[in-house]
């Protein structure tokens, strides 16, 4: 049976930063982009074929959501990436199918968003607008809730005011700005019952919806439509006013759900290790088990374990202060994705402690008694330093991490449909993962260096032979 992939999750390499592009592909339109050559290959290979052969992918994307865009210096590359995969149509400014979301107000996540939207004027005048997303999702205005340190929120205010300033007379072409509610819960209002905040990407195979759900935000976790959100206690900050928290604690956590496939991403959310960050992961693990239970009913998404996500983007670039063993024990991911690197920052990510947790034989659950066998099959990273600030760096002594550059994650449609229609658990879902080896150019006098990416064992149109991860938690 031919393999297709409607959903694409692109982890764009922005060094020590974060940027994820989620795409719903229009499969017949993609086939048209390939042309006659489409008869000689599997449909899942159309996308790399078009990229490798410089085919335009404009109008082959139904809808795309860009979550964060790294630092300023990466923003233009992120825009170019979005254009190359057809998520942004560079022939026009207003983008009907392109949306943006910011997880929290740190420069390695939000600064690049403004460069996605505009170019600087070479004559030093007003910036030139290049891309106007249809909608922009953000946390509530800075300082409305917690006092967060280490950030100003100025850039996000700037982006928001820029899009508002563009309203003019043509209301259809405005960017609408929306707030993501605390804990991902839309409170009941008028005739609308309470609900989970959700971005609808559209429908994939078998008309199955692809939903991007907020499971946490602003140091609170979604606890079901009929429950109040669960607030995560803040860690006290030395010498700071009571209620002052780290901006990372406010990160929006999202689950991309497509039938029985789930991918988790949560900006710089923290765990139990360390004294600075709120333990968002502990509450998340508990609530995800309650709100994403085991499912066996026919014609429904099927999950063998509660709270399971097939793939996981590590929290906070793979820091040791997050990515707890007990969190891994709940999610039981098959694939771990690390957004890390060097260039303007080097924070020592991913840490040895995190890599050790990812490769441990088993994980202890929060109850302190249940042991879960390690489920991770592949660990992939955008890039990893081999030298940081003049010192050699290797958190990965057993060589488990595959350095891939920009990373594409695609669950196989046919498997998702098979899991959906199966009468019982047991159906596996294949997830294809590949990269392009694209690494950050470092200045000649840099005191950092990068580990070489995976060997260019090119396979057909793939820059690096694709990996296939099989997730059997369904
Ligand atoms: Zn952050
Ligand atoms: Zn960050």
What are the DSSP calls for 359-398, one per residue? HSSEEE-TTSS-EEE----EEEES--EEEETTEE--S-TT
Predicted local distance difference test score (pLDDT) of residue 150: 54
Predicted local distance difference test score (pLDDT) of residue 142: 58
Q: What is the DSSP letter of 283?
A: H
Q: What is the CA(391)–ligand 2 centre distance, in A?
A: 22
Predicted local distance difference test score (pLDDT) of residue 166: 53
Predicted local distance difference test score (pLDDT) of residue 208: 97
- Report residue 218's pLDDT band, with 50, 70 and 90 as the boundaries: very high
Q: Quick check: 23 and 7 in contact, CB under 8 A?
A: yes
Predicted local distance difference test score (pLDDT) of residue 343: 83
Q: Which ligand is nearest the CA of 318, by number?
A: 2
Q: Which ligand is nearest the CA of 317, by number?
A: 2
Q: Which ligand is nearest the CA of 18, by number?
A: 2
Q: What is the CA(247)–ligand 1 centre distance, in A?
A: 6
Q: What is the CA(320)–ligand 2 centre distance, in A?
A: 13
Q: Region 394-408: what's the mean pLDDT?
A: 96
Percent of the chain with pLDDT over 90: 74
Predicted local distance difference test score (pLDDT) of residue 108: 94
Predicted local distance difference test score (pLDDT) of residue 157: 74
Predicted local distance difference test score (pLDDT) of residue 276: 85
Residues 126-137: tens digit of each pLDDT: 888 899 999 999
In this predicted model, which residue has the larger pLDDT, 257 or 296? 257
Q: What is the CA(18)–ligand 2 centre distance, in A?
A: 6
In this predicted model, which residue has the larger pLDDT, 416 or 171? 416
Q: Quick check: 141 and 151 in contact, CB under 8 A?
A: no
Q: What is the CA(457)–ligand 1 centre distance, in A?
A: 35
Q: Which ligand is nearest the CA of 247, by number?
A: 1
Q: What is the CA(253)–ligand 2 centre distance, in A?
A: 13
Q: What is the CA(173)–ligand 1 centre distance, in A?
A: 31
What is the CB neighbour count within 10 angstroms for residue 398? 8
Residues 328-344: tens digit of each pLDDT: 999 999 999 999 998 88
Whether the pLDDT of residue 277 is over 70: the answer is yes
Q: Which ligand is nearest the CA of 251, by number?
A: 1
Beta-carbon-side half-sphere exposure of residue 109 (alpha carbons within 13 Å) = 26
Q: Region 344-363: what's the mean pLDDT?
A: 95
- First and final CA of the chain: distance in angstroms? 20
What does the angle CA 153 – CA 157 – CA 163 come to, to the nearest 5 degrees? 150
Q: What is the CA(240)–ligand 1 centre distance, in A?
A: 19
Whole-angstrom Cα distance, residue 268 to residue 252? 9
Q: What is the CA(339)–ligand 1 centre distance, in A?
A: 12
What residues flank ion ligand 1 with Cβ within 5 A? 106, 248, 268
Q: What is the CA(162)–ligand 2 centre distance, in A?
A: 24
In this predicted model, which residue has the larger pLDDT, 423 or 7? 7
What residues flank ion ligand 2 with Cβ within 5 A? 108, 268
Predicted local distance difference test score (pLDDT) of residue 98: 97
**Cβ neighbours of residue 452 under 8 Å, at least 6 residues apart?**
403
Q: Which ligand is nearest the CA of 345, by number?
A: 2
Whether the pLDDT of residue 169 is over 80: the answer is no
Q: Quick check: 177 and 138 in contact, CB under 8 A?
A: yes
Predicted local distance difference test score (pLDDT) of residue 173: 66
In this predicted model, which residue has the larger pLDDT, 330 or 154? 330
In this predicted model, which residue has the larger pLDDT, 171 or 340? 340
Residues 156-167: tens digit of each pLDDT: 777 777 665 555
**If you average pLDDT over every residue of the chain, what do you get?**
91
Whether the pLDDT of residue 237 is over 90: the answer is no
Burial class (CB in 10 A: 0-12, 13-18, 19+), 426: exposed
Q: What is the CA(278)–ligand 2 centre distance, in A?
A: 15
- Report residue 177's pLDDT band, with 50, 70 and 90 as the boundaries: confident
Predicted local distance difference test score (pLDDT) of residue 270: 95
Q: What is the CA(105)–ligand 2 centre distance, in A?
A: 9
Q: What is the CA(272)–ligand 2 centre distance, in A?
A: 18
Burial class (CB in 10 A: 0-12, 13-18, 19+), 199: buried
Residues 42-57: tens digit of each pLDDT: 999 999 999 999 999 9
Predicted local distance difference test score (pLDDT) of residue 230: 98
């Amino acid at each position: 049976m031919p393999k297709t992939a409607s959903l694409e999750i692109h982890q764009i390499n922005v060094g020590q930063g974060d940027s994820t592009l989620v795409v719903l592909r229009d499969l017949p339109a993609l086939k048209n982009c390939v042309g006659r050559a489409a008869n000689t290959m599997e449909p899942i290979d159309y996308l790399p074929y078009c990229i490798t052969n410089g085919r335009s992918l404009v109008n082959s994307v139904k809808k795309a959501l860009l979550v964060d865009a790294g630092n300023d210096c990466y923003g233009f590359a992120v825009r170019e990436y979005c254009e190359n995969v057809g998520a942004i149509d560079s022939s026009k400014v207003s983008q009907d199918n392109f949306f943006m979301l910011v997880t929290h107000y740190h420069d390695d996540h939000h600064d690049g968003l403004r460069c996605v939207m505009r170019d600087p004027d070479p004559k030093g005048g007003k910036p030139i607008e290049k891309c106007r997303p249809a909608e922009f999702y953000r946390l509530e205005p800075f300082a409305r809730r917690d006092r967060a340190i280490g950030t100003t929120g100025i850039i996000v205010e700037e982006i928001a005011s820029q899009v508002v300033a563009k309203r003019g007379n043509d209301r259809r072409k405005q960017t609408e700005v929306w707030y993501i509610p605390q804990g991902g819960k839309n409170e009941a209002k008028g005739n609308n019952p309470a609900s989970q905040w959700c971005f609808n990407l559209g429908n994939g195979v078998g008309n199955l919806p692809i939903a991007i759900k907020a499971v946490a935000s602003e140091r609170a976790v979604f606890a079901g439509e009929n429950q109040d959100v669960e607030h995560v206690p803040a860690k006290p900050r030395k010498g700071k006013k009571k209620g002052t928290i780290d901006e990372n604690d406010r990160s929006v956590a999202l689950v991309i759900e497509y039938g029985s496939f789930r991918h988790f991403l949560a900006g710089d959310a923290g765990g139990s290790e360390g004294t600075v960050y709120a333990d968002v992961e502990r509450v998340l693990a508990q609530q995800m088990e309650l709100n994403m239970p085991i499912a066996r009913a026919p014609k429904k998404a099927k999950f063998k374990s509660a709270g399971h996500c097939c793939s996981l983007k590590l929290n906070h670039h793979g820091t040791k202060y997050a990515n707890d063993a007990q969190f891994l024990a709940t999610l039981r991911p098959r694939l771990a994705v690390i957004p890390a690197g060097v260039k303007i920052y080097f924070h020592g990510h991913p840490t040895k402690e995190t890599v050790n947790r990812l490769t441990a034989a088993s994980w202890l659950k929060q109850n302190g008694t249940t042991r879960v066998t390690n489920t991770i099959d592949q660990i992939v990273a955008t890039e990893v330093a081999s030298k940081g600030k003049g010192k050699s760096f290797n958190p990965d002594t057993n060589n488990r991490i595959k350095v891939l550059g920009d990373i594409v994650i695609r669950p196989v449609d046919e498997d998702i449909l098979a899991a959906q229609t199966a009468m019982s658990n047991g159906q596996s879902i294949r997830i294809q993962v590949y990269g392009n080896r694209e690494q950050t150019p470092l200045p000649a006098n840099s005191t950092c260096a990068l580990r070489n990416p995976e060997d260019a064992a090119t396979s057909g149109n793939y820059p690096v032979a694709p990996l296939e991860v099989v997730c059997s938690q369904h």
